Amino acid sequence: MKGKFIVLEGSDGSGKSTLALKIKDYFIKKGYEVEITREPGGTDISEKIRELLLDINNKEMDYKTEALLYAAARAQLVSQKIIPWIKEGKIVISERYVYSSLVYQGFGRNLGINEVKKINDFATSGIKPDLVILLDVDPEKGLKRKLSINGGDRLENEDITFHKSVYEGYKKLKSLFPEIVTVNAEGTIEEVFEDIKILLRRLP
Ligand code: TYD
């Protein structure tokens, strides 16, 4: 089978990591080789960039710097891991991709979706996923889940207005990118995964 690239997107605390593991199991049981990765991160260099981005002490970081660092981490991940894995015929599952930058930096930070898309087209050489699953959860609920677990990173500690604009950004993005499919993520993990399985079965 040809390699496949599946992306999980959604607000903080929407359950991406747990669902990525369930999708992995689903494909492994079917006999596929599967790789999971996360953004920002997934390579040694990208994980170092992640530390810079999420360090709660980096309060002076300019929004353009932030957008470029996310794109830089992504460029490394795409060239070092994602492209080779797809070429090897693997199923690649990524927690977040370009869409996160479009909403968090483009909408949330007001840098503009077109500007952010430009640097990301450059960073990714335009590699597009086969399926983008957008986990839809009320931003306040998601954030509460996250902050109760670990106190939150630099982005999670932004105020609720920022997270609401990220949530609205995801909704707007849907009309621009037909590969995005929304799944209601307010139910239990099992319920959400039942809906995801329908999408996975439809993959060509
Ligand atoms: P992530 O590790 O996915 O956090 P979580 O597990 O809480 O969803 O992402 C870290 C933070 O980085 C998260 O708040 C979203 C933000 N982010 C961006 O702002 N732009 C991006 O391009 C990406 C990939 C993440």
Nearest CA to ligand 1 atom 16: 155
> Is the model more confident about 204 or about 1?
204
pLDDT tens, residue by residue, 181-198: 999 999 999 999 999 999
Structure tokens belonging to residue 49: 């960039």
Class of domain 4-201: alpha beta
What number does the ligand 1 atom closest to the CA of 96 have?
Answer: 24
Rg (CA), the chain: 16
Q: Using a 6 Å cutoff on CB, does residue 154 contact ligand 1?
A: no
What number does the ligand 1 atom closest to the CA of 154 have?
Answer: 14
Question: What average pLDDT does the chain have?
Answer: 95
pLDDT tens, residue by residue, 108-160: 999 999 999 999 999 999 999 999 999 999 988 888 888 888 888 888 888 89
pLDDT at 1 exceeding the cut of 60? no
pLDDT tens, residue by residue, 82-119: 999 999 999 999 999 999 999 999 999 999 999 999 99
| Cα 1 to middle of ligand 1, angstroms | 31
Give the three-state DSSP class for 157.
coil
| Cα 40 to middle of ligand 1, angstroms | 7
Nearest CA to ligand 1 atom 20: 101
pLDDT at 18 exceeding the cut of 70? yes
Find the helix packing angle between 44-54 and 63-77, rounded to 10°.
160
Q: Using a 6 Å cutoff on CB, does residue 9 contact ligand 1?
A: no
Nearest CA to ligand 1 atom 11: 155
> Structure pTM?
0.94
Domain ranges of the chain: 4-201
**What gap in Å lies between CA 123 and CA 104, rounded to an integer?**
17
